[in-house]
Structures are given as structure tokens and as C-alpha cells.
Amino acid sequence: MKRVLFAAVVLVILLSSFGSAFAADEPQQATPALLGEVWWFYFDFGAPFINVDAYLYRPSTLGGWPFAGGPGYGTWWWEGPDSSQRRQSWPAYQMTDEWGYYYAEFMFPRDEVWYPCGFPLQWKCNYVVDPFGTVEYHSPAGMAYECRPINPFVLECLTWPWAVDPMDTVSPMQVLLIDEFGFAYVIDFEILGMYWKFSDFE
């Protein structure tokens, strides 16, 4: 099952990223993803053994939704500056292989430092207070819930304790792969929610 999931994820990544790289005249929907997922990237840079850097970051939303297409799932997002850039989680891969391909891997972070209070804004707190003191409730557009067996016949699964309508909150995220000559792939993601885990209570 893991191999099938891995193959499907890689195929989705390649199709979506190559589409956004080579069909710039058409607005492209960002790929939906959840915080806590691991994504793999494997791209052809055309030359063997050249240096490539890989970065993950949240683009600025001060001017609105940053992608031409979308958002595809939510209707509300936090407006703010871009995040700091996070380098790839496997720094051993710093250059293309002998065929000119480059591999990178990221786990989309769930930590409170990068996503205060469950960013995009208040997922864990479930509210936003505007400058006038008005409280607005927002919840993630999509979530995945961890389950664990209580016994061989019963599963215990988490539910989102603060789920309220309209379940609308999304966030943009980008992965940038850039070689030493400035050739780059930029892959757009629409973050719908996160993996809600039992360890979040510990």
C-alpha cells in the first residue's frame, strides 16, 4: 500500500509541477496538501552533478491569494508576509545525479513556530479577532484524523474538536528547486488542513 501511495504522490507531483512549469499561459490550480504530509520531488535539470537548492516556504498573501488559479477548496486565508525559507529535509542531496535528475523531500511542518496556533491562523484556536474586536470563526477546509486500535475489532479515531462552518481556511505554500545557473521549478500547494494526531495532546 505504501508503494502505491508513494507512486501516486510522485505522479501527482510530477504532473502538477511540470504543468505549472511549462504551461505558464494557463492558470494552474495548486496541488492540495496537508501539514504533516511528506512530499517527494524528482526533476530533470538536464545536466549531471550540478548544484541544486530546495526550499519550502509560505508566500506572502498581503496582496491576496498569490497563485493565478484558485484557491480551489477554501474561501478564507490569513493575510500576511511570507515565511522564512525552510531547506530540504535531506541535505545529502545537494546536486543532480549522473542523469541530471534532482531529488528532494519535505515534510510539510506542523510545528507551532512556523504555524503559530496551528497556522494558517488559529486552526487550533479556531477563531480570529479583527482590529475592531470582532471574533470570526474559521476552521480548516480539510483534515486527516489519526486512528489507533483499542482492540483487534475497534478503532479509536480523533475528531476535530473545534470544527465549525464554513470550514474554509486554506494557506498557500511553495517549493522552489533552483540550480546553480538559475533554472528553477516552482511547485504551488494549497494547504487544506493538517494531520490531527494523538501526540498533539501529549
Check whether 127 has a pLDDT greater than 60: yes
Q: How confident is the model at residue 91 (pLDDT cuts 50, 70, 90)?
A: low
Residue with cell string 535539470: 45
Residue 128: band (very low, low, confident or very high) from pLDDT cuts 50, 70, 90: confident
Give the whole-angstrom CA distance, residue 154 versus residue 15.
Answer: 38
Per-residue pLDDT at 92 exceeds 90: no
pLDDT band at residue 63 using 50, 70 and 90 as cut-offs: very high
Range from 107-111, 127-131, 177-181 that averages highest in pLDDT: 177-181
Residue 126 CB coordination number (10 Å): 19
Does this model's pTM top 0.85? My answer is no
Q: Which amino acid is at 61?
A: T
Residue for grid cell 504551488: 188
| pLDDT for residue 173 is more than 70 | yes
E strands, 58-143, are 86-87, 101-107, 127-129, 135-137
Task: Give percent of the chain above pLDDT 90.
Answer: 39
3-state secondary structure of 170: coil
Tell me the average pLDDT across 148-162. Answer: 89
Which is higher by pLDDT, 161 or 156?
Answer: 156
Overall residue count recorded for the chain in this entry: 202
CB hemisphere CA count around 141 (13 angstroms): 19
- Most confident among 50-59, 105-114, 163-172 (mean pLDDT): 50-59
- Identify the three-state secondary structure at position 20: helix
The whole-angstrom distance between residue 177's C-alpha and the CA centroid of its chain comes to 15
Q: Are 196 and 79 in contact (CB under 8 A)?
A: no
Where are the chain's structural domains?
2-201
